[in-house]
Structure 1
């Protein structure tokens, strides 16, 4: 009980209430002017008991209107988070964007200044009165006041009981402060918590961030993963023929150097985007080559690729061309990892408003090696095609590893970004 009434949390909540009382004073003075203008100017609003309540009622609409400003909510949340001991996750941290959120913030602010004003008045009046009560037995002169403030406590047994009455008043003040602070802490998540619109906006932001992370992961996987697969294949071939065919080994090492240099450039583009302060990550990402760069990609792979093109690849929109390049790149990586190392065939056709790609290579027949966290390449390839309104599949069919992808040329646009 002592901790609940006088502990650190209770003291912080009392400070929060006193701040509310201080914030009430300008509005209360405005209410005083209004009450004085319609009543008797010579009557103090702090006089008879009903008049302060009337003045408070007149003043309360003004703080309510003040809290309708969108920026008011994060300021109120800061005070609650700092002094009321409320879970920060239960509170909204952005300005009010809807009238629902503004009205809730206005209700909270009005409740805060009202409870704070009452507790502040009690904190100013009750402690001195309680101290006087506890001093009555010691100082007889205090028992005779012009207004007979102590009543029966100033005579007979009342004098002996006066100190206990003072202690009860102080405990009552602490209990009222703790109860008011607990009530505000309970209502804070309701009135200052996220509204359905806030939760929807947060979900859209998380979806946008996840889409950005997935896009960057696909770029890194397809570029760096393909390069490492090609380097592994070329290095293995160079090691096997190093003593017998130095010219071939030299060509393989040159291809490794070119592959590594090209991949470092792509990696720098992705990392540069991540390092940009305030960069629009949901916008266009690092620029990947298009179909025009397939010849160079096929040479650097280290495989024998029979490449056949039908139609005009130059008519393919830039976005579709880049995504097609990445899909072919992932297909070649799979051919290096899962194929027999023999010839790979690649057919690219541009016709009837779509781009069709078919890649085939003999499957090795061995059980696929399951890597921890593997399988992202095929999933990323399917995501690339789906984002453009097409589809891509890959798998083993009759001893042949086959990749098929269809991309509509009219889907050359990025999906709409999530609302912020």
Structure 2
């Protein structure tokens, strides 16, 4: 009995009755149209007229379901009442494409058509079947005009079979409702499921969210990683000369203070991006973050001596390029500080040309291979990803007995637009 009267079957039956209720406005309009062509008043008593009104109601229902918001309403009802398996998802959001709107209209038409039939059967057959069931037990029911008892049923043995006939009618009604509900549940993923355009849009949203997450990971890695490396080396050097060189200790503490203050500001920028929706973050780019104008402060307190030369107009560099250039320089200094030590000199050259910004950083190679850090090794990969997002290129490797990091970032995106 579970397939006919279980919770899922009852919910699907309710869903069909909801479809019958949705059909009523269209059916009444169809009745008015059919009645305008009849000279008598037998529209509601004529089966042909009712079938004609039903046939006119379905196209009207299909037209109204072409509106984009019809699909979310149908999806919500189907998810709540159709008992769909979890491995057959439905689409989210309004129907934007023609294919999605046509599918939603077909579903809505099927829903109201089956709902109208099952609702009519439920309203008409249920009281009749109940009346037939109680015929042997109530003379009042036998005299009721709706229950037109044939004279043959006056025979006791035939009248005794009336309850079985009534129960059979109710069982047939339950079977029809269950079959219609199963048909709707089977068609729901096909007609209300995601179209190829929906899947593409969902994939684009996931890619955009992943891009934002990766950008946040790079920003946190570069900012926090550089700060911790600089603070650790400054504090270690200050501890070793605490008694012999107070002036150096004072300079180290100043560098630590400036580094942590700058890092706190950068963390506020990243956390501000986290508080925003992914879509807004992608569209607006999030908080600007530090750019080339903040590079002097970074070099002054980065923990290594840096000889920096700059050519060209920094003001001509777009904000997005300037932000990524700052992060690339920051990560390069972190690597030089981590692998070369505090006293390792670094040469940095920034050249702004007409079409691109070039960053070249030379640092000494470490005397010993750096220790492998668990979860480390993402710095150069992050630099490559930053440059690739702007359509640029990077390179890193030994050069003239040292280590050279290069990055070329285009100042204009393909098509002439600024990044």
- Structure 1 length-normalised TM: 0.90
Q: Does 1:79 align with 2:77?
A: yes
**Whole-angstrom distance in 2 between the partners of 1:230 and 1:147:** 93
Q: Which moved more, 1:318-327 or 1:107-116?
A: 318-327
Contact 2:26 2:57 in 1 (8 A): yes
Structure 1 vs Structure 2 CA RMSD: 2.5
Counterpart position of 1:39? 38
Contact 2:128 2:147 in 1 (8 A): no
Q: Does 1:125 align with 2:112?
A: no
Aligned residues: 413
Counterpart position of 2:244? 244
What CA deviation, in whole Å up to 9, does each residue of 1:187-218 have, x standing for no partner? 11111111112111212222222222222222
**Structure 1: any 5+ residue segments left out of the alignment?**
416-420
SS in 2 for 1:301: coil
Q: Does 1:336 align with 2:337?
A: yes
Contact 1:339 1:401 in 2 (8 A): no
Change (3 A) 1:396 1:154: farther
**Whole-angstrom distance in 1 between the partners of 2:203 and 2:278:** 20
Change (3 A) 1:279 1:200: closer
Contact 1:144 1:154 in 2 (8 A): no
1:27, CA displacement in angstroms? 1.2
Counterpart position of 1:355? 357
Counterpart position of 1:403? 405
SS in 2 for 1:375: coil
**Whole-angstrom distance in 1 between the partners of 2:156 and 2:320:** 96
Counterpart position of 2:52? 54
Change (3 A) 1:259 1:51: same
Counterpart position of 2:138? 139
Counterpart position of 1:70? 68
SS in 2 for 1:306: strand
- Structure 2 length-normalised TM: 0.90
Contact 1:392 1:405 in 2 (8 A): yes
**Structure 2: any 5+ residue segments left out of the alignment?**
none
SS in 1 for 2:137: coil
Q: Which moved more, 1:195-204 or 1:283-292?
A: 283-292
Q: Does 1:370 align with 2:372?
A: yes
**Whole-angstrom distance in 2 between the partners of 1:211 and 1:251:** 39
Counterpart position of 2:110? 111
SS in 2 for 1:230: helix
1:397, CA displacement in angstroms? 5.7
Q: Which moved more, 1:258-267 or 1:47-56?
A: 47-56
What CA deviation, in whole Å up to 9, does each residue of 1:18-77 have, x standing for no partner? 1111111111111111111113332133x2433322221122111111111111111111
Q: Which moved more, 1:15-24 or 1:290-299?
A: 290-299
